């Protein structure tokens, strides 16, 4: 399931630009004809697209993206990119937990909410960023590496394989809920965003599927450390296989067993593959854990820390 409570990279970008130009929210509100609360909302990634367009105009910015196709409007570009990716409107609506009509309105009329636009661009891997009008490279923020910002819940079928090896986990350090009945992962203890799993000690056998935003490197650093200092015995993490990132090199390469998964995991309604490859990363895995994982993940490509 794809949950759209997120830290908006576009909103953060708007704020960054405003601050870099030493403008107050009040000044930007005057320039754009919007109210101060609306500007504040947009800087958190919320609000409607017509307000967003006004704010972009006032800051002399536009959205561009390395994978964004041409199109009259952003909605039209989303539609073209979605078709190119072979993803249905219904699948996007499921992934973003919005109605089908919301996606239709976005694509056809270029209307709706900023968080839906950002979610759709992210899901489609648009590589979108904010740039100054009339320039090509000078981008302020980058919102497009598909997995950024959002909470990709671990597919049930994948978890079932892991339960066959570990049984119930001791800890899920980043869970959407405390409630056992609705939590996606079977674990004795859960930390939520309210608790802040990054600031609490981990223990036992932990299963980690962190928010795929800019904090990802903090989660891998924490996972590695919690095992190194003996808080957790083992951390098993489902991560985007972004082997070019600094956190992969710093926290995973030569430090963890990695099972590179063949094909793409299926999120949402289960019909659409994720637009990024995934890997199961294991810190602190004993020989028997790794052998048991090899059995339940027969198609995965195992990389051991010593190699």
Q: Which residues pair with 141 in a beta bridge?
A: 130
> For residues 172 and 200, what is the distance between their CA atoms, to the nearest angstrom?
12
Smaller CB separation from ligand SAM, 154 or 278: 154
Smaller CB separation from ligand SAM, 192 or 231: 192
In 167-255, which residue ranges form alpha helices assigned H by DSSP? 216-228, 246-247
Q: Taking a C-beta distance cutoff of 8 angstroms, is the pair 204, 171 a contact?
A: yes
Minimum distance from CB of 154 to ligand SAM (Å)? 4
Smaller CB separation from ligand SAM, 71 or 277: 277
Minimum distance from CB of 70 to ligand SAM (Å)? 32
Minimum distance from CB of 188 to ligand SAM (Å)? 14
User: Cβ atoms within 10 A of the Cβ of 254, count?
Assistant: 11
Minimum distance from CB of 59 to ligand SAM (Å)? 29
Smaller CB separation from ligand SAM, 75 or 184: 184
Q: Could you give the 3-state DSSP secondary structure of residue 50?
A: helix
> For residues 185 and 202, what is the distance between their CA atoms, to the nearest angstrom?
16
Residue 95: enclosing H or E segment and its boundaries?
A: helix 89-96
Q: Could you give the 3-state DSSP secondary structure of residue 62?
A: strand
Summarize as ranges the residues that interact with ligand SAM (CB under 6 A).
151-154, 172, 174-176, 184-185, 191-193, 196-198, 209-211
Minimum distance from CB of 219 to ligand SAM (Å)? 9
Smaller CB separation from ligand SAM, 7 or 80: 7
Residue 64: enclosing H or E segment and its boundaries?
A: strand 61-65
Write out the E strands in 104-208: 128-132, 139-142, 151-152, 169-172, 187-190, 204-208
Q: Taking a C-beta distance cutoff of 8 angstroms, is the pair 75, 109 a contact?
A: yes
Closest CA to 284 of 176, 175, 203, 178: 203
Smaller CB separation from ligand SAM, 139 or 212: 212
Smaller CB separation from ligand SAM, 65 or 184: 184
Residue 68 gets which letter from DSSP?
P
Closest CA to 251 of 279, 271, 230, 281: 281
Minimum distance from CB of 172 to ligand SAM (Å)? 5
Minimum distance from CB of 216 to ligand SAM (Å)? 10
Smaller CB separation from ligand SAM, 129 or 152: 152
Burial (CB count <10 Å: 0-12, 13-18, 19+), residue 192:
middle
Minimum distance from CB of 134 to ligand SAM (Å)? 37
- Write the CA distances from 46 to 10, 19, 154, 202, integer angstroms: 10, 19, 26, 33
Smaller CB separation from ligand SAM, 98 or 237: 237
Minimum distance from CB of 150 to ligand SAM (Å)? 7
């Amino acid at each position: 399931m794809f949950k759209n409570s997120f830290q908006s990279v576009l909103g953060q970008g708007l704020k960054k630009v405003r601050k870099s130009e030493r403008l107050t929210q009040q000044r930007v509100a005057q320039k754009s004809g919007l109210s101060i609360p609306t500007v504040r909302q947009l800087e958190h990634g919320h609000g409607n697209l017509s307000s967003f367009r006004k704010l972009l105009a006032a800051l002399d910015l536009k959205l561009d993206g390395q994978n964004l196709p041409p199109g009259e409007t952003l909605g039209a570009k989303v539609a073209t990119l979605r078709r190119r990716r072979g993803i249905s409107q219904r699948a996007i609506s499921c992934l973003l937990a919005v109605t089908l009509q919301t996606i239709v309105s976005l694509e056809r009329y270029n209307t709706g909410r900023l968080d839906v636009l950002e979610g759709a661009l992210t899901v489609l891997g648009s590589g979108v960023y904010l740039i100054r009008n009339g320039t090509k490279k000078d981008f302020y923020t980058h919102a497009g590496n598909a997995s950024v910002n959002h909470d990709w819940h671990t597919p049930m079928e994948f978890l079932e394989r892991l339960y066959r090896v570990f049984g119930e986990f001791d800890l899920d350090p980043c869970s959407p809920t405390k409630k056992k009945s609705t939590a996606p992962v079977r674990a004795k203890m859960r930390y939520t965003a309210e608790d802040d799993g990054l600031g609490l000690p981990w223990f036992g056998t932990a299963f980690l599927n962190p928010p795929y935003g800019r904090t990802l490197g903090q989660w891998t650093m924490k996972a590695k450390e919690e095992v190194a200092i003996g808080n957790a015995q083992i951390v098993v993490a489902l991560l985007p296989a972004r082997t070019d990132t600094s956190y992969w090199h710093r926290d995973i390469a030569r430090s963890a067993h990695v099972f590179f998964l063949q094909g793409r995991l299926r999120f949402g309604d289960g019909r659409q593959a994720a637009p990024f490859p995934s890997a199961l990363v294991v810190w602190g895995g004993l020989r028997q854990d790794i052998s048991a994982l090899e059995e339940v993940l027969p198609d995965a490509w195992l990389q051991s820390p010593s190699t």
